[in-house]
A and B are shown apart, each in its own frame.
Chain A
Amino acid sequence: MSKPTDLVQGTLDLLILKTLALGPMHGWAIAQRIQQLSEEVLQVQQGSLYPALHRLEQQGWIRAEWGESDNNRRAKYYSLTRAGHRQLEHETDSWERLSAAISAIVRA
């Protein structure tokens, strides 16, 4: 088996937004979730998740709240805002266009 693929530049935002569309969760859970759903193909370099989360929060697409985690510790939970939902649709669209175009070229 080959090495896990590095994330395509700029797709981390899309993955985070998509993951958060399932419901509020904290950073560690997001990293786990991305890894599981991609069947271990995508390996998020865990540290780089946080600058991305903070940037998305600064742009008003996700909102952060402190809450209790399963093991009774204070954890920062992120959730999608209304603007975030719109952004997710937008990014999904452009991702589908991009990947369709690339597969068309690759298969030709």
Chain B
Amino acid sequence: MRWLDIVRMRLRSLFQRDSVEHELDEELRFHLDLQVQQNIAAGMKPAEARYAALRQFGHPTQRQEECRDARGTRMIEDFFEDLRYALRGLRRDRFLAFAATATLAICIGANTTVFSMADSILIRPLPYPGANHIDWISERSGPVQEDIATAPDYYRVREQNHIFEDVAAFMPSTANRTGVERPEQLDVASVSASFFRVMGTEPLVGRYLAREEEGTKAPLVAVLSYAFWRNRLGSDPHIVGKAIALDRRPHIIVGVMPQGFDFPRGTQIWMPLHMDEASERPIRANTMFRILDIVARRRPHVTPQQADTEMRRLTFAIRADYPKVFASRGFRSDLSIGATPLQQHLTGQLRPALMMLSGAVGLVLLIACVNLANLLLARAGSRQRELAVRLALGSGRGRVIRQVLTESLVLALPGGLAGIAIAWIAVRALNAAKPSILVAYPAIAMDPRVLAFTAALTLATAILFGMAPALSAAGTSIQEVLKSAGRTHSIGRSAARVRKLLVVAELGVSLVLLIGAGLLARSFLALAHTETGFRTDHLLTFRATQVGSTSLEGRARFYLKLLDEVKQIPLARSAALLSDMPFQDTYDRAGRVQVVGHEPIPFLQRPRADNTVVSPEFFQTLEVPLRSGRVFDDRDSENPPPWW
């Protein structure tokens, strides 16, 4: 086994260095002694014989060096030698070691934290099979990308089967679980039967919706999320076929999805989407569209760009089918359907923020590198003598560069390790606190990729801040330095120039960072001082959905009774009903406004006004100040004013 022999030998040269060296000595001495004896036997005097033997042999020290080179482990041995030397040097210079470790720990920690965020949110693929083939289909128009889709869109996109294998529509909503001791509101999603095929995920237990389980006649069935099945139903293995009451109607459970399937995020139960193709497909002049979300799975060979282009083409086709309707409703001319990869859609808002954050921490690390390079250069000034002596004794310049770089690696390594520790703590804190901007995203994890990133970063850092001192060391002029022996001397002119350049670069980068941070802080302060128009302290909110009665009176009675009961709670000062929370996206409730008596405007060109339905106590409860006039009260609810 030739390679086994080789490995054994390399290991021996590395780890039993003393005995290997001793053997080398003994071997060469043996040879010289034999040669001396032979020379004496040939008639030389002992001293002469020894001299002749040495001449025949060549310089023994040099030969020894060549033998060491032949071992093939020279680089590693040198490295360990440099390592020992660097450690000894740092023990003498504790301030430098401490400054470098602390600076790098913070900077590398920050970079690792931001990278693990970017990795978890932007890079790591969604946990669905073939997730990079899932597209989000939506309408966009104008500068505000409204990102919604409608039922007519769904029926048209579904026909594009040369691009998509499957197209699914879904609507997130809530449902009340009834028929149990403590009813609760659940997050549900009504989905078309193709939904699970698009997401490419098989159920853990039972089945998902069958092809015919959609449309107006779809049976009342339900697919459960893993979390709901485990936490609320005790992981009942015989759950399939049992019924669960949702909004007082029994739904037959047909399947349970596996752990990790969480789309749309937070969904506890999926059920069939009841849609009527005959009435919802056509685009008519005066009906409202159903607003829903669409996802589609691209065919294997179709790229995201192709899908997007095809969707734009489809928009023109639809428009050509209904020229009158489009004209009378006043669709914007730039309205178009588009396809975006699902991951990009889900992370779209966070992407620029994360990029900016990565840039900022990267710059901070750069500043740290420049600082350390400066510190090392200052130190190199006092070490020039030592380096000159090494060069004079025959050390190669490449060898000196390697030695200085090893030193900077020794400086960077503890910083990198401490950085990982800091990032670990930061990631845990972020996951625990879950700032609102991260709620919609999976937990941040530090995986092997993050650790590899940090290792590479540490190495790059070491090379970066070690480069300046290494090059200045290699440029040491032996003569000049040794001539100035005994005198204290300043560092060379070139090194001084490098240091000046470093300071300029550092100032520049710091300025960029400071300006960026200043602007951010100003925006934050401005945001924090924005007038909300109401008092946010001492305000509690909760959601309630009434089920059962569908008559307007019945629902009004329910909510008024609920309001009365909340007002009875001793700790409550006042309470109000409202259809939507302040600042909540109420796109689908926004109304188009036409001022009475003005020239009629096509429907979609009318200005839009968000509206929220509230009870009279709203203004008092949120302490909304009244500028003039009065707020409405019970008088206003019965009969609309005559001009309506």
Contact = CB atoms under 8 A, between A and B. Distances in A.
Interface of A: 26-28, 31, 45-48, 50-52, 54-55, 57-60, 63, 66, 69, 73-76, 81, 83
B78 interface: no
Contact of B6 (A26, A46, A60, A75): A60
Contacts of B302: none
Interface size class on chain B is 20 to 34
Given A28-B35, A58-B70, A58-B71, A47 B9 contact: no
A99 B31 CA distance: 32
Given A28-B35, A47-B57, A76 B9 contact: no
B23 A76 contact: yes
Nearest to B1: A60
Contact of B69 (A31, A51, A57): A51
A102 B277 CA distance: 91
Nearest to A66: B23
Residue from A58, A69, A75 having most chain B Cβ neighbours under 10 A: A58
Contact of B60 (A47, A54, A60, A66): A47
Instruction: Name B's interface SS.
Output: helix
9 contacts: A28-B31, A46-B57, A47-B62, A47-B63, A50-B31, A54-B70, A58-B6, A58-B70, A69-B30
Interface string B71-82: 110000000000
B504 interface: no
A55 B9 CA distance: 11
A47 B2 contact: no
A51 B63 contact: yes
B56 interface: yes
A76 B5 contact: no
Contacts of B33: 73
Nearest to B72: A58
Contacts of A76: 23, 26-27, 30
Interface in B46-101: 56-60, 62-63, 66-67, 69-72
B5 A50 contact: no
Contacts of A46: 31, 35, 56-58
A60 B67 CA distance: 15
Contacts of A50: 27-28, 31, 63, 66-67
A74 B30 CA distance: 8
A81 B2 contact: yes
Contact of A28 (B34, B69, B70, B72): B34
A54 B67 contact: yes
Given A63-B5, A76-B23, A47 B70 contact: no
Contacts of B583: none
A69 B33 CA distance: 13
A52 B35 CA distance: 19
A51 B57 CA distance: 12
B30 A48 contact: no
Contacts of B71: 54, 58
A28 to B, nearest CB: 5
Contacts of B26: 74, 76
Given A27-B31, A28-B35, A83-B2, A55 B57 contact: no
Nearest to B66: A51
